[in-house]
Amino acid sequence: MNTILVLGRYDDPHIKGISNELSKLGKEHIVIDHFDTSDSFHVMFNDGIKNSVININKRQISNHEIKSIWNTSALKIMIDEKIIDDAKKFVQAEWTEGITSLWDALDVKWVNHPSSISNAVNRMKQLQLANEVGLKTPKTLVTNDSQAFLNFFNKYHGEIVAKTLHSSEGVPEGKMIFTTKVTENDLKNASSLKYAPCMFQEYIPKKTEFRITVVGETIRTAEIHSQKSKKTMHDWRHYDDFTKTPYVEVDLPDDISHKLLKLTKKMNLEFGAADLIRTPDDDFIFLEINPNGRWWWIQELTGMNIAKDIANHLAN
């Protein structure tokens, strides 16, 4: 067991960074970007034992050779152009289930396993688990009921924000839906909630914000001074001029670090990117944790070598 699989796009700086750090460590690894008709795999189940083989990039890899796996996202499946359009959805579904069978046959360290990712993405579940380990969380409502939304708005005297439940998936190319403070003017559109549910939370006053990257037992924390710019005041992802919105490496209080590690263990995550708020009273409020969170931009802004942390975790 000495080969490390790195699943992700060849042109992704995250994948390049991890690959470079693994090379520095002298660790054998292979980047897998996609499967197509020139690649193959098989999984054999016999008397409770699974064995598998992958033939990809002119290389054959058995499950016994694999030490660990970095998993960024689902691999691209290249459907042969000879497949008629009416059959493409069926072929895609069969590939998806086949690859799931392959991954389940690999009993190694995953960072993160696909099932752990799928189980971790629900934000209401995240809040519940975070609360169970002792992290403070905002009051939250998920609804498509306009009256429930109006009641929530009034209960918190109009000091609430709206968020997507999942992501900006499905919106036009190059667009993104940000956390938005709800205004009185938005109330006239309350009936539109019937078309799709939304998440609402009490507005948490901010002193600063934190993007915390957890790799195994290693925690790297970037403090984001989002209140220095009106553009990033409600959502630092607006990415203002970084001279106006400084990002600084800091250490979290020990009790917050301990609770975050308890949370990742509870969620079966070896990697997570968590967002927290520090209030003017220096309370720490947990917002969410992304099991597939991006981190390369944080590494570039702060100098924290997260790629090295990941490579070390995969290698050890």
For 21-56, the pLDDT digits (tens) are: 999 999 999 999 988 888 899 999 998 888 999 998
Average pLDDT on 216-245 reads 67
Q: Model confidence over 60-90: pLDDT tens digits? A: 999 999 999 999 777 788 888 888 999 989 9
Which has more confidence, 199 or 180? 199
CATH architecture of 205-315: 2-Layer Sandwich (3.30)
Domain ranges of the chain: 3-111, 139-202, 205-315
User: At residue 164, does pLDDT exceed 90?
Assistant: no
Question: Can you give the pLDDT at residue 167?
Answer: 63
Is the C-alpha dihedral spanning 120, 124, 130, 131 positive or negative?
A: negative
Cα 5 to Cα 28: distance, rounded to the nearest angstrom: 9
pLDDT at 200 over 80: yes
Who has greater pLDDT, 82 or 135?
135
Dihedral sign from CA coordinates of 94, 118, 29, 106: negative
Percent of the chain clearing pLDDT 70 (strictly above): 90
Whether 171 has a pLDDT exceeding 60, the answer reads: no
User: What confidence score (pLDDT) does residue 244 get?
Assistant: 64
139-202 falls under which CATH superfamily? ATP-grasp fold, A domain (3.30.1490.20)
pLDDT at 234: 47
For the chain, percent helix, then strand, then coil, each to nearest 5? 35, 30, 35
CB 17 within 8 A of CB 300: no
Radius of gyration of the chain (CA): 22
CA distance 227 to 230: 7
Share the mean pLDDT of the chain. Answer: 89
Whether pLDDT at 230 is above 60 = no
Q: How far apart are CA 136 and CA 235, in angstroms?
A: 19
- pLDDT tens digit sequence for 149-160: 999 999 999 999
Residue-level pLDDT at 19: 97
Give 89-123 pLDDT, tens digit per residue. 998 899 889 999 999 999 999 999 999 999 999 99
Asked if omega into 112 is within 30° of 0 (cis), the reply is: yes
What confidence score (pLDDT) does residue 168 get? 53
pTM over 0.95: no
- For 63, residues 6+ apart whose C-beta sits below 8 A from its C-beta are 50, 51, 52, 53, 105, 106, 107, 108
Task: Give the pLDDT band (50/70/90) at residue 180.
Answer: confident
Contact at 8 Å (CB) between 210 and 287? Answer: no
Q: What Cα–Cα distance (Å) separates residue 37 from each residue in 81, 82, 91, 100, 105? A: 10, 11, 12, 17, 21
CA within 13 Å, CB half, 128: 8
Give the span between the Cα atoms of 167 and 151, in whole angstroms: 25
- For the cut 80, the answer to whether the pLDDT of residue 229 exceeds it is no
Residue 307's CB is within 10 A of a number of other CB atoms, namely 23
Q: Which residue has the tokens 């598998």?
A: 52
Per-residue confidence (pLDDT) for residue 232, from 0 to 100: 53
> DSSP string covering 177-239, please?
PPPEE--GGGGGGGGGGGGS-EEEEE----SEEEEEEEETTEEEEEEE-GGGSSTTSS-GGG-
Per-residue pLDDT at 214 exceeds 70? yes
* Residue 122: CA count within 13 A, CB half-sphere: 10
* Whole-number pLDDT of residue 177: 64
- The predicted structure's pLDDT at residue 238: 47
- CA atoms of 179 and 84, how far apart (whole Å): 41
Cβ partners under 8 Å of residue 156, min gap 6: 139, 202, 203
Q: Which amino acid is at 179?
A: T
Among residues 266, 257, 246, 309, which one has the least CA distance to residue 286?
257
Count CB-CB contacts under 10 A for residue 77: 16
- Tokens, residue 114: 């696909």
Cα 95 off chain centre by: 23
* pLDDT score, position 236: 47
- What percent of the chain has a predicted confidence (pLDDT) above 90? 71
